[in-house]
Amino acid sequence: MNLDWLKSGIAPLDNLISFLHKQSKTNDVLKKQVLMELRNNLNIFKNAFLNEVSSDTIIDLLSNDAIQDAVKNNFAFKKLKAGGIEPYHVFDERNKKYIGWTVEKLIDKIDEKIVELKLLKKMNKGSVDKLKNNVPLMISNLYFRMKLLVDFIKSDFK
Protein backbone atom coordinates (compact mmCIF):
# COMPACT_ATOMS: atom_id res chain seq x y z
CA MET A 1 0.00 0.00 0.00
CA ASN A 2 1.23 3.48 -0.79
CA LEU A 3 1.47 5.46 2.44
CA ASP A 4 3.20 8.55 0.99
CA TRP A 5 0.64 10.76 2.75
CA LEU A 6 2.31 9.65 5.99
CA LYS A 7 5.77 10.85 4.95
CA SER A 8 5.25 14.39 6.27
CA GLY A 9 3.97 13.08 9.57
CA ILE A 10 6.67 10.61 10.64
CA ALA A 11 8.74 13.01 12.78
CA PRO A 12 5.75 14.41 14.68
CA LEU A 13 4.40 10.87 14.96
CA ASP A 14 7.37 9.74 17.09
CA ASN A 15 6.71 12.72 19.36
CA LEU A 16 3.00 11.86 19.68
CA ILE A 17 3.72 8.19 20.40
CA SER A 18 6.19 9.19 23.11
CA PHE A 19 3.61 11.57 24.61
CA LEU A 20 0.98 8.80 24.72
CA HIS A 21 3.45 6.46 26.39
CA LYS A 22 4.01 9.03 29.18
CA GLN A 23 0.30 9.82 29.55
CA SER A 24 -0.64 6.15 29.83
CA LYS A 25 1.06 5.98 33.23
CA THR A 26 -2.17 6.59 35.14
CA ASN A 27 -4.21 4.74 37.74
CA ASP A 28 -7.38 5.12 35.64
CA VAL A 29 -7.44 1.71 33.92
CA LEU A 30 -9.85 2.65 31.11
CA LYS A 31 -8.00 5.87 30.34
CA LYS A 32 -4.72 3.95 30.32
CA GLN A 33 -6.12 1.32 27.94
CA VAL A 34 -7.53 3.91 25.50
CA LEU A 35 -4.25 5.86 25.45
CA MET A 36 -2.20 2.69 24.97
CA GLU A 37 -4.47 1.51 22.16
CA LEU A 38 -4.14 4.88 20.44
CA ARG A 39 -0.35 4.69 20.84
CA ASN A 40 -0.27 1.15 19.45
CA ASN A 41 -2.45 2.09 16.48
CA LEU A 42 -0.20 5.05 15.63
CA ASN A 43 2.80 2.72 15.87
CA ILE A 44 1.08 0.43 13.36
CA PHE A 45 0.79 3.32 10.89
CA LYS A 46 4.42 4.32 11.45
CA ASN A 47 5.74 0.80 10.94
CA ALA A 48 3.42 0.16 8.00
CA PHE A 49 4.87 3.25 6.31
CA LEU A 50 8.47 2.23 7.02
CA ASN A 51 7.92 -1.36 5.83
CA GLU A 52 5.39 -0.89 3.01
CA VAL A 53 2.74 -3.06 4.69
CA SER A 54 -0.53 -3.89 2.89
CA SER A 55 -3.90 -2.38 3.74
CA ASP A 56 -5.14 -5.84 4.77
CA THR A 57 -2.35 -6.19 7.34
CA ILE A 58 -2.91 -2.67 8.70
CA ILE A 59 -6.63 -3.38 9.12
CA ASP A 60 -5.90 -6.70 10.86
CA LEU A 61 -3.57 -5.01 13.33
CA LEU A 62 -5.67 -1.95 14.19
CA SER A 63 -7.55 -2.29 17.45
CA ASN A 64 -10.60 -0.63 18.94
CA ASP A 65 -11.13 -3.03 21.88
CA ALA A 66 -10.14 -0.46 24.51
CA ILE A 67 -12.50 2.11 23.03
CA GLN A 68 -15.38 -0.38 23.06
CA ASP A 69 -14.50 -1.45 26.62
CA ALA A 70 -14.50 2.19 27.70
CA VAL A 71 -17.91 2.74 26.10
CA LYS A 72 -19.33 -0.39 27.80
CA ASN A 73 -18.02 0.86 31.15
CA ASN A 74 -19.46 4.34 30.62
CA PHE A 75 -16.00 5.97 30.57
CA ALA A 76 -16.13 9.77 30.37
CA PHE A 77 -13.88 10.46 27.39
CA LYS A 78 -13.60 14.08 28.49
CA LYS A 79 -11.12 12.72 31.07
CA LEU A 80 -8.71 12.56 28.11
CA LYS A 81 -9.40 16.21 27.32
CA ALA A 82 -12.39 18.41 27.97
CA GLY A 83 -13.75 21.00 25.57
CA GLY A 84 -13.77 21.15 21.82
CA ILE A 85 -11.16 21.16 19.10
CA GLU A 86 -10.08 24.70 18.26
CA PRO A 87 -8.38 25.89 15.05
CA TYR A 88 -5.00 26.00 16.84
CA HIS A 89 -5.23 22.24 17.54
CA VAL A 90 -5.42 21.45 13.81
CA PHE A 91 -2.07 20.97 12.06
CA ASP A 92 -3.39 19.24 8.95
CA GLU A 93 -5.67 21.08 6.51
CA ARG A 94 -7.89 18.02 6.06
CA ASN A 95 -8.78 18.05 9.78
CA LYS A 96 -10.33 21.54 9.80
CA LYS A 97 -13.78 19.95 9.48
CA TYR A 98 -13.37 18.62 13.04
CA ILE A 99 -13.12 22.06 14.65
CA GLY A 100 -15.69 22.18 17.45
CA TRP A 101 -15.71 18.41 17.94
CA THR A 102 -15.14 16.84 21.37
CA VAL A 103 -12.85 13.92 22.22
CA GLU A 104 -15.92 11.70 22.57
CA LYS A 105 -17.22 12.55 19.09
CA LEU A 106 -13.79 12.08 17.49
CA ILE A 107 -13.19 8.75 19.26
CA ASP A 108 -16.63 7.58 18.13
CA LYS A 109 -15.66 8.34 14.50
CA ILE A 110 -12.31 6.56 14.94
CA ASP A 111 -14.07 3.50 16.35
CA GLU A 112 -16.67 3.59 13.57
CA LYS A 113 -13.96 3.67 10.86
CA ILE A 114 -11.99 0.77 12.38
CA VAL A 115 -15.19 -1.30 12.58
CA GLU A 116 -16.10 -0.38 8.98
CA LEU A 117 -12.65 -1.33 7.63
CA LYS A 118 -12.67 -4.68 9.45
CA LEU A 119 -16.21 -5.44 8.18
CA LEU A 120 -15.30 -4.50 4.60
CA LYS A 121 -12.37 -6.90 4.78
CA LYS A 122 -14.58 -9.72 6.16
CA MET A 123 -17.28 -9.09 3.54
CA ASN A 124 -14.75 -9.48 0.75
CA LYS A 125 -13.10 -12.83 1.52
CA GLY A 126 -10.46 -11.34 3.83
CA SER A 127 -9.02 -8.69 1.52
CA VAL A 128 -9.78 -5.07 0.66
CA ASP A 129 -7.68 -5.18 -2.54
CA LYS A 130 -10.56 -5.40 -5.02
CA LEU A 131 -13.08 -3.18 -3.24
CA LYS A 132 -14.79 -0.27 -4.94
CA ASN A 133 -14.44 1.70 -1.69
CA ASN A 134 -11.43 4.01 -1.55
CA VAL A 135 -9.70 2.03 1.21
CA PRO A 136 -6.40 3.99 1.07
CA LEU A 137 -8.37 7.22 1.65
CA MET A 138 -10.35 5.61 4.47
CA ILE A 139 -7.12 4.47 6.14
CA SER A 140 -5.45 7.86 5.74
CA ASN A 141 -8.54 9.61 7.14
CA LEU A 142 -8.44 7.27 10.13
CA TYR A 143 -4.76 8.05 10.69
CA PHE A 144 -5.34 11.81 10.51
CA ARG A 145 -8.26 11.57 12.96
CA MET A 146 -6.03 9.68 15.41
CA LYS A 147 -3.25 12.21 14.96
CA LEU A 148 -5.69 15.08 15.56
CA LEU A 149 -6.98 13.37 18.69
CA VAL A 150 -3.47 13.13 20.14
CA ASP A 151 -2.58 16.68 19.06
CA PHE A 152 -5.74 17.85 20.85
CA ILE A 153 -5.07 15.86 24.03
CA LYS A 154 -1.43 16.98 24.00
CA SER A 155 -2.23 20.68 23.58
CA ASP A 156 -2.16 21.35 27.34
CA PHE A 157 1.14 19.52 27.83
CA LYS A 158 3.64 21.79 26.08
Q: What is the pLDDT of residue 15?
A: 82
Alpha helix segments (H runs only) across 24-94: 29-51, 55-61, 65-72
> What's the pTM value of the predicted model, to 2 decimals?
0.88
Q: Is the pLDDT of residue 91 over 60?
A: yes
Q: What mean pLDDT comes out for the span 87-115?
A: 96
Residue 139: strand, helix, or coil: helix
Q: Is the pLDDT of residue 158 over 50?
A: no
Radius of gyration of the chain (CA): 15
Side chain identity, residue 22? K
Q: What is the pLDDT of residue 153?
A: 93
Q: What are phi and psi of 102, to 5 degrees?
A: -100, 170
